Structures are given as C-alpha cells and as structure tokens.
Amino acid sequence: MKFGGTSMAGTERIRRVANIVRAQAAAGNEVAVVVSAMAGETDRLVNFCREANPLYDPAEYDVVVSSGEQVTSGLLALTLQSMGCDARSWMGWQVPINTFANHANARVGDIDAEKLIASMQSGQIAVLPGFQGVSEEGRITTMGRGGSDTSAVAVAAAVDADRCDIYTDVDGVYTTDPRIVSRARKQKYVTFEEMLELASVGAKVLQTRSVSLAMKRGVRLQVLSSFVEEGAPSADTLPGTMIVSDEEMDAILEENNVERQSVTGIAHDKNEARVVLTRVPDKPGAVSEIFLPLGDAGINVDMIIQNVGRDKGETDVTFTVPQAELARAIALLEEKQSVIGFNRIISDANVAKISVVGMGMKSHGGVAALMFKTLADRGINVQAISTSEIKISVLIDADETELAVRVLHSAYGLDSQEAA
Ligand code: ASP
Ligand code: MG
C-alpha cells in the first residue's frame, strides 16, 4: 500500500490512513506500507537547500529532502501502534533499498527483502519511507520527484506482493483531468503502455519510472483514493483503476464484448517552452550543432521541427525544452551562436503540450487527422507535433489548453454519458 502526500498531510489524515492499513491487516493480509512526505514538505525542503547553497551538492540535498518521508513513516508507525497494531518503520538503509547512479535521481537496484519479509510474516506491519534509498557508498539517496511511487513498486516486486495499491487524492485514472472536463470518466482498466505514455506526457498520477518498473517486474498495480467514507468497498474489490498488460486488456474487452477505442486518455502539460532558432544554415551537421550542447548539459529536448529550407540555404528550427531549463538552454545556444550560425533565438513559455494516447491507435486510422481537424475547427493553431506508436502530441498556445482538452475529449467519444 502506498499513500501520497495529501493522504499523509497531518496527524488527522495519517489516522485515516492507519485505519485503511489496519483493515487490510485485519483481513489477514501481510502488509508493507510506503509513504510520501506531507504535501508541500518536499518543496519546502528543496527551497532550504537552494537558500543554503544555490549550487547544492546532490548528496547533501538527498540528506535534507529525504527527511520528509522519515517523519511520516515514523508517525504512521506510531499511529498504528496507538490502535494496537504491531508496526515498525524501515528506513531505506535498513531494508536496504539499494540504489545506484546519481544522487537526487537515483535508480532502484536490488532489494534484499529477507528481513522485511520475515517481519511481515511475523504479523508486523512494515512502514517504509518512499523516495529514499541507499547508495553503494552507504549514503542516503532519493529517486527523483514523485519517487515514492517507484519505491512502492520496487518493494512490491521485492516481497512478491499480490498487488501494489497506490492510494492518492483521486479515485483512479481518468480519461482526462476531471477539473477541466466534468464529463471525464474514471477508467476501470488502463494498459501499462498507455499509463507509461500518459505519465510521461504530463498526467501526474504516477511517476513514469514506477510504471516501467511495474511493467518489467509484472507488479499488479491499482490506483485508488484514500479519501473514502467509513464502510466503503475495500481495495480488493478493485474500486480504482487497474493497470493491466495488453493481453489482459484484450481478454477484458472480449469478455465484455466491446471494441478497443482509438484514444483512451488525453493529457496536458504546461511545463514546456518553445524555442525557435531562425535562419540556421540548411546543411548537414547543422542540427547536431544545436542539440549536442543541450544533450551534454542534460537538457531534455522533446518536440522538434525543422522548417522547409528557404532560398539562400537557410531554415528555421523549432523545439521544446522543459520551462525550468529554458534560461540555461538559451544561454548555451547564445554561446554557440557563431558555430551554429543562426540569426535569432525566439522563445515562448506560454505553450502547452496536449497529448492523446491509446493502444487502439495502432489499429485505427485517422486518429491524427481527427485531432488536427478538431483543433482547426476551433481556430487552435498547432505549433509543433510529435508522435509515438500510441501517442500524438501537439504544442499549442497555453491559453487554449482547456478548450483543446474539452473538444478533443468529445471528438474521441470519451465524454461520459451520465449527466455531468
Ligand atoms: N516527497 C517526494 C516528492 O514530493 C516523493 C513523493 O512524494 O513521491 O517528490
Ligand atoms: Mg506522487
């Protein structure tokens, strides 16, 4: 069981979480619980690091930011004990949750869960801080923002859990953001592949890495709400969204005699910025001059378009970078202006990426055409496009985000038939 920051925000909420955990244990399950820091706490800790030293050492950053989860795991263990449950916390180094590579963005390696399993088998509820692990050097690490989801999946895989339930402040994965589209529908099932794409294009339910880990390790993953009334159906009745393999989805569709839809989810992301380099020489090697320095600096470029060359052998190159990296990207490119040979840099942070995702795209034609036509009918201009086998993303003016999501949700037949 994994509980996110809003579910852990304060002792009153932790008590509700403890009640949900206790019910699972009372039903005869062996339980490990992974928790996030209280909502807002990690941001607060990150800011302290920035104030202390703008060029902070990631190893010391990890010491500071991992502390939020240490607090909530101890508090949950205490609360469970106050209810008469046998509960014990396990810090990342105690399990140990071995991680490797970079501090602040560590990846989970092997987890030797022998002691953890023994304690669970003895009837003790194990409470683990999400987000944190231990490096090969024995230092505390963290797994990147949102990393508690990945901790939960890694622990579930290590103890060979029947299921990994991710409790959050929404009751599942929706066809799109219900705050934008009131007719958005909660999905009973989503495939790993779709969830992976949705997470990577801005749906914030799960950390992307947790989905790929669950897919690789075959962990049964359910997303559900921790904000439920007393006496609500238990997690075992699958009230949330189950993330399933493509084969399982096929079987479910066949059993219910329904066809796969072309699009199952629509996501939006306002955290990108658009960069245009004008009058770049239209010759071999020009684009690599642009993207090599960005890659070396660890700046992730997403969408790219190169305009058709003009006369005089010049072209414009448009691409997107994370908004947080825009200033750094511009500085790097300006440094290289004479090498690359462009004329001007134009940037715009007021853009949004809208993505439609669905495994059904592989077999349905006209999915992209419908997207472009729907947006064109509303006068929404597409500034860049990128695609994968099961995803189409477009870049538009950020002010048109809500409108675009709404009209696309209708166009792909995703609106709930029940009155909103
Ligand atoms: N507390 C960490 C964060 O805010 C990890 C998590 O909650 O998943 O990013
Ligand atoms: Mg999260």
pLDDT in tens, 240-276: 999 999 999 999 999 999 999 999 999 999 999 999 9
Burial 330-354 (b: 16+ CB within 10 A, else e): eebbeeeeeebebeeeebeeebbbb
Helices then strands, each counted (H, E), the chain: 14, 20
CA-closest residue to ligand 1 atom 6? 146
Query: Is residue 166 within 8 Å of 225, Cβ to Cβ?
Result: no
Residues near 400 by beta carbon (within 8 Å), at least 6 away in sequence: 352, 378, 380
Q: Whose CA is nearest to atom 8 of ligand 1?
A: 146
User: If you measure from the C-alpha of residue 209 to the centroid of ligand 2, how many angstroms do you get, rounded to a whole number?
Assistant: 12
Q: Is the CB of 36 under 6 A from ligand 1?
A: yes
Q: Is the confidence at residue 100, as pLDDT, over 80?
A: yes
Cβ contact 32:155 at 8 Å: yes
Rounded CA Rg of the chain = 23
Residue nearest to atom 9 of ligand 1 (CA): 145
Query: Ligand 2 centroid vs 377 CA: distance in angstroms?
Result: 36
- Please tell me the predicted confidence (pLDDT) of residue 419: 60
The number of the ligand nearest the C-alpha atom of 146 reads 1
Place of tokens 């970078």: 321
- Ranges of beta strands (E only) in 28-106 are 32-35, 87-89, 97-100
Q: What is the pLDDT of residues 142-156, one digit of tens each?
A: 999 999 999 999 999
Residue to substitute in 3, 8, 36, 206 for testing ligand 1 pocket (most ligand atoms within 8 angstroms of CB): 36
Instruction: Write the pLDDT tens digit of every residue in 308-351.
Output: 777 788 999 999 999 999 999 999 999 999 999 999 999 999 99
Q: pLDDT for 167-209, tens place per residue?
A: 999 999 999 999 999 999 999 999 999 999 999 998 889 999 9
Q: pTM, whole model, 2 decimals?
A: 0.92
Cα 315 to middle of ligand 2, angstroms: 41
pLDDT greater than 60 at residue 386: yes
Ligand closest to Cα of 132 equals 1
Mean pLDDT of 207-236: 92
> Does ligand 1 come within 6 angstroms of the Cβ of 147?
yes
Residue among 32, 19, 35, 81 nearest 234 (CA): 19
Share of the chain above pLDDT 70, in %: 100
Query: Distance between CA atoms of 401 and 180, rounded to whole angstroms?
Result: 9
Query: 129: Cβ below 6 Å to ligand 1?
Result: no
C-alpha of residue 308 to centroid of ligand 2, in Å: 41
How distant, in Å, are the alpha carbons of 11, 358, 369, 381, 383 from that of 394? 43, 15, 12, 9, 7
CA of 301 to the centre of ligand 2 (A): 24
Average pLDDT over residues 296-300: 90
Contact 79, 15 (CB under 8 A): yes
